[in-house]
Each structure stands twice: as structure tokens, then as C-alpha cells.
Amino acid sequence: MRLLTHNMLSCNIKGVTNGFPLIIEAEKVLEKPVDLNPDFLRNMFHKVEWKALVDAAKSLGYSELPESVDPAMLESPEFLHRFHHALLELHLEEGALVCPETGRKFPVNKGIPNMLLHEDEV
């Protein structure tokens, strides 16, 4: 699972109001190279929750993203490269996503998070 997917997932338990971002517990991380698309990144920059991405990347062992950003940085090839790597090339393969409000763990196996709810959570 890419961190772009993580950036849109939020805890779906009924009644949870602060279910984003899910905390990552990483057991196995993969890197899968993919072509860099500058226009896509410039568009995504305005849609991603930056802090969530920075923290998620750190939990996968990548701490090259700046904590604070502004759109002018999109002119820098170096910045684009780091953003691209964190957003699209790092994959959480095994581990868990943890709800920040309830502590409920959603397991991730073979890169697929299991967000199925128990009966009393719907």
C-alpha cells in the first residue's frame, strides 16, 4: 500500500470523529520504483494532508520530507523527487494501521489493509 492510499484512509468505526490519520505500525516495507510525473505531483500537493504524509513516511523509515512546505517548493526537482518517493514508491507491505482515537488495529497483510468492522463497530 502506497502512502497516497494511507493519506485518504480514515478509521471507519461508527462514532469515531478523529479517525485520521491512521498510525502506521510497519513490519515490512517495500520500495517499488515508478516514473515521476511532475504535473501529477503538483496537483496532489494541494490534496494531500502534508503532516500525515511526513509522519507516515517516517514510520516507514523515510525522513527526508520537510516538516513544513509551501507551493514554491514544487519548482525544486529535489523536492519533487522526495515527495514522489514518499507518496508513490514506498509501500507498507506488512504491519497495521491504528485508529488514533480508539487504538483499534487494522492489520495489513501482503500490502492490503483489512478495514472490515466488527458487528458492534458499524
Partner 1 sequence: MKLKQLEGLLGDLQQFSNPKIELEQYPTGPHIASRMLYTAENSFGDVSDKVVADFGCGCGTLGIAATLLGAEHVVGIDVDAQSLEVASLNAEELEVQMNFVQCDIKNLQFRGLTIDTVVMNPPFGTRKKGADMVFLSSALKVASQAVYSLHKTSTRDHIKRAALRDFNASTAEVLCELIYDVPQLYKFHKKREVDIAVDLWRFVPKRAQ
Binding site for partner 1 (CB under 8 A): 1-2, 4-5, 7-12, 19-20, 32, 34, 37, 39-40, 44, 47-49, 88, 110-117, 122
| Minimum distance, C-beta of residue 93 to partner 1, in the bound complex (Å) | 12
- 9 versus 23: smaller Cβ distance to partner 1: 9
Q: How far apart are CA 41 and CA 81, in angstroms?
A: 10
Q: How far apart are CA 41 and CA 53, in angstroms?
A: 13
- 8 versus 63: smaller Cβ distance to partner 1: 8
- 49 versus 55: smaller Cβ distance to partner 1: 49
CB–CB of 81/35 below 8 Å? Answer: no
